A and B are shown apart, each in its own frame.
Chain A
Amino acid sequence: MKAYIRSAAIVAPQDGSAGTPLLRQVLTYTGNRLTCAEPDYNQFIDPRAIRRMSRIIKMGTAAAMQCLQLADVQMPGAITMGTAYGCLEDTGVFMKRMVEQHEEMLTPTSFIQSTHNTISAQIALQLQCHAYNNTFVHRGFSFESALLDAKMLLEEGQKQVLTGAADEITPYSFSILQRFGLYKTDPGNNIDLYNRPGKGTMAGEGAAFFLLDSSDHPGNYAIVDGLHTFYKPAGIETIWENITQFLAANELQPGDIDLLVTGRNGDAAGDKIYAEMQEAIFPEQVAIGFKFLCGEYPTASAFALWMAARILKEQQLPAVFGVTQPASLRRVLIYNHYEQIHHSLMLLRAC
């Protein structure tokens, strides 16, 4: 069973409009945080519902609705999504009031919306979609689990599955994650993220949704041929092994990959893995990063899938990557790891 990407949409720190070529205008950020360029939500969501929604609910719902609009599909056969942190803003609001008001005079809205499956539930509610609906919340595997679920649903006979991911940064989460040392402390620009290696990365966020379809349609973006995750690999050899076995399972050699998309994020220790992998397995391949465009967050791989699908559809590598376009753009491999714990491989093919 093939899994065609029939449409893809984002709300991200970059403009994802379907009408203009991919990344024609790149948005730049100074500091250590990239935030979403939010669209006019009225285009995608019932204005009465927008008022009650927190930012991540709007981001996720808008990306999902735009994705369906692009596919011209009214009702998906199932909805799956991933979110590592869930609805942090609502969680923070309820927590703050609980502390400051000493558990008294609390109101339910932020608690209700803090639930991790709020976004997928709101999408179902907006669509009046009674179909299968599932939400995965496993850190750097959240989106990959949702994508796996979607692929299994297609194998099981579903025709169309809406799948995606969303994560947000809030002042609380940024402040806490910064204390963990995740982000760079020097003020720099996202465009030259890879030119200033050191400790830490830039924080990011975003929502991305895809309509996976079991059949070929004119205008499909790409085919998701393979997906593999591996958790806490023992060492570099285990990583190589997972990558080469994944290629072999898809009857491919490293040389069959036209473009490599890696999760480089500017953190020297984590980026070393990509550099060594490239040297060891893909010495001839053109490689590009994506986190300089969206920042680092546990479901950033969904942004990578959106980007790779658009590259395959448009058959054009945008200038921002500063690389020579390979002679053929048929197969793309996305390799991402989050904090060196969650590793994922996604294999795409042009339609």
Chain B
Amino acid sequence: MYSSNAAVYVGGLGVVTAIGNNKAECLASLEAGKAGIAGITLLDTIHKNTLPVAEVKLSNQELERRTGLRAHTSRTALLSVLAAREALEDAGISSASEWRMGFISANSVGGMDKTENFFPGFLANANSGHLRSVVNHECGAVTEIAADALRIQHFVSTISTACSSGANSIFFGARMIRHGLLDIAVAGGTDALTKFTLNGFNTLQILDKEWCMPFDEERRGLNLGEGAGYVVLMSEKVMQSLGKQPYCKLTGWANANDAHHQTASSPEGAGSFAAMKGALDMSGLAAADISYINLHGTGTQNNDISEGTAIQRLFSAPYPLMSSTKSFTGHTLGASGGVEAVFSALSVQQNLVYPNLRLHTPIQALPFAATTEFSRAHTVHHVLSNSFGFGGNCSSLIFSKS
């Protein structure tokens, strides 16, 4: 039965990004102000020396060793297993538990990293190429590799709504708990860098040839990143039985559509405004209750002013602290909602505010600026995490002290 106010706890976290292979390493980099952006080493591409990216600092072979997955597994799945396993272990849940457990994962291009190696040979001769390279092309196939590795069987699903995918997976898991369909949901997202995505974003002319500068007047575009991030969501009953302190609660979420353009955001940020407002309404909070906003903040001209305008419309001075951790991790696309949920949960639990790197001149049209300092000095009651994607898909999550 559906219970609209049932508590949803965050009981475990796992993450891998260019700034660390787990949450401790990521936190250390966030505190040290150390970005993970550098030249391309993993992809065989003509953009190697011109477009910086944020790669996870582990080779596929090293990831295979750490996860125990077989050779030729899509990097998207390798990253997923590494982070999701950390989250489950962190939560203290064994896969053999009697709880109804679900795995809801997001990604944007599935096993494309393997498909794009298969394609040149296939185009030349339709009978050539190893089928093992395309067997996991589908987004859902990547999720199943991870679900099987984690031995989660009760419920599996995959969401793909571009850059809001990870956030959508998280609230979908939370809703299944509120509907009494799951006791535990491991939810988040994963994406590996691919030539397909790199070239795609390059055609849109929104990739920064230097390190990205989110929410800066002089911002030039985004840097692509890769990684995975998962939260373990659980019902009150599970939390009590585990007998430990959760990180926080997930108290609000909303998804809304910009309905403006397939890739560009509306100038007034219609979708992002509605997503933030909807999440506030669900959690029963006023805008002034938000301590910190983990911005979508990609660093493109269009995205940042649209998000900033929506924030300006919804909030008033004194504005909450805010920053884009994409200045560290790059834009991890389908993973970003998951990665930033992990950062947001840690922020609430440990009263952390992360810096927005390389901010020199705040956007002049906005009455606020992103914060540039790492801080433990503020009590963080509620964090708003934004994820906005292609197709006008806008999602916001709110994490609150438990």
Residues of A at the B interface (CB closer than 8 Å) are 79, 84-86, 91, 94-96, 98-100, 102-104, 106-108, 111-118, 120-122, 124-125, 127-139, 141-142, 145, 149, 152, 155-156, 172, 175-176, 179-180, 229, 231-232
Contacts and interface: CB of A to CB of B under 8 A. Distances in A.
A142 to B, nearest CB: 7
A179 B262 contact: no
A117 B139 contact: no
21 contacts: A86-B139, A91-B196, A98-B196, A100-B123, A103-B46, A106-B203, A111-B201, A112-B262, A116-B108, A121-B262, A124-B392, A125-B260, A130-B257, A130-B270, A132-B254, A133-B391, A135-B161, A137-B160, A152-B179, A231-B154, A232-B153
Contacts of A145: 157-158
Contacts of A85: 138
Interface string B167-198: 01000100110010000000000000001100
B199 A142 contact: no
B155 A229 contact: yes
Contacts of B4: 156
A287 to B, nearest CB: 28
Contacts of A149: 172
A137 B159 contact: yes
Contacts, number: 177
B168 A134 contact: yes
Given A103-B45, A103-B47, A118-B390, 13 more contacts: A95-B115, A95-B119, A102-B46, A112-B262, A113-B262, A116-B162, A130-B271, A130-B274, A133-B255, A136-B160, A137-B139, A145-B157, A156-B2
B393 interface: yes
Nearest to B172: A149
Nearest to A133: B257
Given A108-B200, A118-B391, A179 B127 contact: yes
Contact of A117 (B2, B110, B140, B389): B389
Contact of A111 (B203, B270, B392): B203
Interface string B198-223: 01111110000000000000000000
Interface string B127-144: 100010011001111011
B31 interface: no
B138 A84 contact: yes
A117 B270 contact: no
9 residue pairs, one from A and one from B, having the closest CB atoms: A121-B391, A111-B200, A116-B160, A139-B140, A138-B140, A108-B203, A137-B139, A138-B158, A137-B160
A35 B393 CA distance: 30
Give the size category of B's interface with A. 35 or more
Contacts of B157: 136, 138, 141, 145
Contact of B393 (A107, A113, A117): A117
Name the residue among A96, A98, A102, A172 with the largest chain B CB count within 10 angstroms.
A98
A128 B159 contact: no
B291 to A, nearest CB: 27
A155 B140 contact: no
A132 B47 CA distance: 37
B263 interface: yes
B258 interface: yes
Contacts of A141: 140, 156-157
Given A122-B262, A134-B172, A129 B257 contact: yes
A96 to B, nearest CB: 6
Contacts of B110: 137
B133 to A, nearest CB: 10
A124 B259 contact: yes
The CB with the most chain B CB atoms within 10 A, among A131, A139, A172, is that of A139
B131 A180 contact: yes
A155 B262 contact: no
A102 B123 CA distance: 13
Contacts of A107: 203
B293 to A, nearest CB: 21
Residue of A91, A136, A152, A155 most packed against chain B (CB within 10 A): A136
A337 B240 CA distance: 37
A343 B179 CA distance: 21
A99 B202 CA distance: 15
B393 A137 contact: no
Contact of B255 (A100, A132, A229, A232): A132
A127 B259 contact: yes
B120 interface: yes
B74 to A, nearest CB: 15
Given A130-B271, A152-B175, A117 B162 contact: yes
Contacts of B262: 112-113, 118, 121-122, 125
